[in-house]
Structure 1
Amino acid sequence: MIERIIDKRTHDLGGGFEVGRVLPFHARRTVGPYIFFDHMGPADLAPGFPREMDVRPHPHIGISTVTYLYDGALTHRDSLGVTQDIRPGEVNWMVTGSGITHSERFDHAREHGAHMHGIQAWVALPTEHEEADPAFYHHEGSADLPTWEEKGLRGRLIAGSAEGMRSAVKVHSPQFYMHWDMDAGASRTLPAEYEERAVYVAAGVAEIAGQVLRTGQMAVFDPGRDVPVTAREAATIMVLGGDPIGERFMLWNFVSSSKDRIEQAKEDWKQGRMKLPDADGEEFTPFPEDRDYAR
């Protein structure tokens, strides 16, 4: 039932803020269209911490990025002119398409201090949408993000459709992305609704398909069978998947079905041909010359 278990690997975003990288993994690049999955924190940030910890302006192509927080706050600024704070339970969904640049700043945490904890995922766009116009969407509340409660569990559908529910987030391929908060002893079944599915334990301990997973572990499942999930202790669970998206190449922040398109984007960034955010154009992240295609 469990195809593979993936442990998060520590990765520094460049200014001292560390994340746990789960996808891509050398033996499992994607789960449905989800090609990237970073666990941010948990980290306690004291007021006045250095600005170098922020994620400076950087480019993307070929994906949608989805930022989701359990605690803390982030400020998003992009080359479309959008400035948007995100807080727990909300969703920032950015369609990068043919190209966009953005930054992620800890403005609120730097002023007030914060307990930062969340997930950032990337969703690969289907080939026919890889060059779509970039766009940004902010979603909050149960009108956009269906929520429900059952015995010992509080759930939210972040994106896509599942179990008769549909999120208002605009997706480009069949997929689902859910957040479950489970009390100790609570149980739930993940139905065999999509070909590719995974469960990530963001906090706590869970028994999944008969195997115990702890914080920072993702289980990827074989298709065609329902998966039982039980919280051994109070747990925060992320559930994701969808239809396979096909082969994708990744170099730094660029994702595409074509290496030639990635090389073009790389040169565009290096030569300064990609517009920086209007409200955050004083600095940027240089292309890391030692970076190779992700395997």
Structure 2
Amino acid sequence: MNIEVNSQNLKFLECFASDTRIKIIELLNERPMNIKDLAESLGFSSAIVTKHVQKLEEAFIITTESVPSTRGRQKICHLTLESATLQFRAKKQDDQNRYAVSIPIGQYSAYDVKPTCGLASDTKIIGMVDDPRYFSDPEHVKACHLWFGSGFIEYRIPNYLVGKQSVRSLSISLEICSEAPHYNENWPSDLTFYINDTCLGAWTCPGDFGAVKGVYTPSWWKLGTQHGLLKQITVDSEGSYIDGIRISDRTVQDLAIHYGDDIRFRISAPETAAHSGGLSMFGKQFGNYDQDIQVYVAY
């Protein structure tokens, strides 16, 4: 997640101006905790801790859920934000020279996957798990969650350029993680990203997350993996980046984006990778972020 340092993001930035809120983040990094446990660990009243929790929740750094307890209900706090990059020098772009599209994760255009694998909508599993044939089932377009042990999935990004217009930058935001049987939070996976068959670089996901229920994951889902990490892939005239960290020298000029041709985006979990840990993807109504694949094209 990229955060521009400006007045519009004060709610997020103010969270780090308090020793108490930093300590809450440190405590929740170890495990989910309720308000009472946080208050006892910090030496403050529950009322004070609740106010700090509300600020962290408003900034989408943590989430809370109300669960039954022996004395009514209690609020459990979860740390959900994995990382954030502060952008001090924002790139100013004319809104008229930029377009955005949202691609549901089930609307892929090509695939080649191996088990463990499967698809799920917000209401049910689509077809049968561990049978790649169901990735061709007509209902695959309804998928809000998909996973596979190795292989690739590819999407077509619409190209709205006209005339001599050319792409200045391309940014893709999506929620992903590894894929282990059931789940394993220490399960690294080397994931490689391509645009029009040009390799942008790779990123190693640390695990397959199932210990804490996803904020938007449906209550009926019991198969293990609950959420992923929100990652932002950016390509511009200087190189390729994930969350602001350079992964290669591939620039937007290397991507062969031409008028009239769709932009093909592929994510690969190679069986031959050093960490062959598969891929899980999450769209709206699944995981920790209620979004599909978000694409921004500046030209």
TM bucket (normalised to shorter chain) is under 0.3
Structure with the larger helix share: 2
TM-score, normalised to structure 1, is 0.24
Bigger radius of gyration: 2
Structure with the larger strand share: 1
